[in-house]
Amino acid sequence: MSTFEIDASPEQVGTAAEAPPQPPRGGLVGGLIRLARPKQWVKNVLVFAAPLAAGRIDEWDVMRQCLIIFAIFCIAASSIYYVNDAFDVESDRRHPKKKFRPIASGVVPVKLAWILGPVLAVGSVLLSVVLCNPGTALIVGLYIVMHMLYSFAFKHVQVLDLMMVASGFLFRAMVGGVAADIPLSRWFLLTAGFGSLFMVAGKRYSEMVLMGEEAAKTRASLANYSITYLRFVWQMSVAVTVLTYSLWAFDIPQDDATLAWQQLSLVPFGFVLLRYAVYVDAGTAGAPEDVVLKDKVIVGLGFAWLLMFVLGVFHV
C-alpha cells in the first residue's frame, strides 16, 4: 500500500530506463492478477471473526453472507492496489524490487489500471448493497475511501497513517457481523482495533530496527517517527489487546457443566502475542504473514487458541 522512495542518481535512473526489467510471465492477464495481490487476500479471513465470536458461524445463512463479503472485500482491496500502483508508478520504477510490479514493468498499462481500479471499487460497493445490506456497503465504501486517501495524501502524516492502516483490519473484523446482522460486542471491537494497531506499529518498528537510518529511504513515512515512539505504540497496543480480550473472556456467563474455555483460551492467545513480539523486537516482523505461517510454535499455539475459542463460544 505504501509508497517506497529511494534516492537515485541521474545515472542510476538512466540505467534503469535503458535496461527495463523483463516482464513477468502471463502477459496482460497474468499482470492484472498479480496486480490484484491475491496473496494479500488471506487478510480478509477476518470477516469470519465476528460471526465466529458470536457463535453463529455454523448457521448457513451467516456463513453464506461471510463468504459473499469475503469475495467483495477481495475485490475492494484489489481496487486499491490498482489505483495505488498506478499512482506510484514512477517511484516504483526507481525501486530495485518494485520495478518488477506489473504497472512499473509495463505489463499493465497505467491507463487501464486507472480505469479498472475505480470500476472495481464502485462494483464492490454496489455488490454490498445488492447481496448484503446498506450497512455493509457503508463499511466497504469507508474502507475504500480511507485507503485511497491514505495512498494519495495521508501516508506521511504522523499517527494518522498508523490509524488508517489499522482501520483496514478493523473494518474487515466488523463487516462480517454487519453483513450477517450480528450485534458487535464492545470487547470484540476493542480487541480487534488494538490488535490491528499492534500489527501495524510492530511492522513499522521492525522495519526501523532492521534498516536503521536507511528505513526512511524505503518507506518515507518512517522519517516522521522515532524507534522509541513506535516501541511505545506497539507495546501499549499489545497490552490493551490482552486486557480487552480478557474482559471479553470473563464477561460471558459460564455454565457450571462445561469447562471455562473462554478463560482458558487466554493462555494460548497471550503466548501467541508474546511469541510474535519476539520477532517485532528483533526487527524481523516486517512481513507478518510470513512470521505467523513459518513459526511452528505460533501455528501450534494458534490452533490451540482457536480450538479453545470455538469450544467456549459453542459452550461445549
For position 242, what pLDDT does the model report?
A: 94
For position 188, what pLDDT does the model report?
A: 87
pLDDT tens, residue by residue, 227-263: 899 999 999 999 999 999 998 888 766 555 456 888 8
pLDDT tens, residue by residue, 108-135: 888 988 999 999 999 999 999 999 999 9
The residues, any chain, with a CB within 8 Å of residue 103's CB and separated by 6 or more, are 31, 35, 85, 86, 89, 92, 109, 110, 113
- pLDDT above 50 for 21: no
Amino acid of residue 175:
V
DSSP 157: S
**Following DSSP, what letter does each residue of 117-167 receive, concatenated?**
HHHHHHHHHHHHHHHT-HHHHHHHHHHHHHHHHIIIIITTSTTHHHHHHHH
- pLDDT above 80 for 277: yes
> What pTM does this model have?
0.78
How many other C-beta atoms lie within 10 A of the C-beta of residue 1? 17
Higher pLDDT, residue 296 or 313: 296
Q: How far apart (Å, rounded) are the C-alpha atoms in residues 172 and 170?
A: 5
DSSP 152: I
Amino acid of residue 44:
N
Are 208 and 215 a contacting pair, CB within 8 Å?
yes
Q: What is the mean pLDDT of the chain?
A: 83
Q: How far apart (Å, rounded) are the C-alpha atoms in residues 94 and 136?
A: 39
∠ CA 242-1-130, rounded to 5°: 85
Run of H or E residues at 234: helix 227-251
- Locate cell 526512511: which residue? 216
Q: How confident is the model at residue 271 (pLDDT cuts 50, 70, 90)?
A: very high
Are 192 and 49 a contacting pair, CB within 8 Å?
yes
**Cα separation values, 26 from 33, 96, 285, Å:** 9, 21, 31
Q: How far apart (Å, rounded) are the C-alpha atoms in residues 123 and 105?
A: 27
The proportion of the chain whose per-residue pLDDT surpasses 90, expressed as a percent, equals 39
Q: How far apart (Å, rounded) are the C-alpha atoms in residues 123 and 125?
A: 5
Q: How far apart (Å, rounded) are the C-alpha atoms in residues 98 and 93?
A: 7
User: Mean of the pLDDT values across residues 283-287?
Assistant: 80
The proportion of the chain whose per-residue pLDDT surpasses 70, expressed as a percent, equals 85
Q: How far apart (Å, rounded) are the C-alpha atoms in residues 178 and 199?
A: 24
- CA dihedral sign of residues 103, 105, 108, 109: positive
**Cα separation values, 175 from 36, 44, 61, 67, 172, Å:** 21, 10, 15, 12, 5
Backbone angles phi, psi at 78, to 5 degrees: -65, -35
Q: Which of 182, 169, 67, 83 is nearest to 127 (CA)?
A: 67
Among 13-17, 261-265, 274-278, top mean pLDDT goes to 274-278
Q: How confident is the model at residue 7 (pLDDT cuts 50, 70, 90)?
A: very low
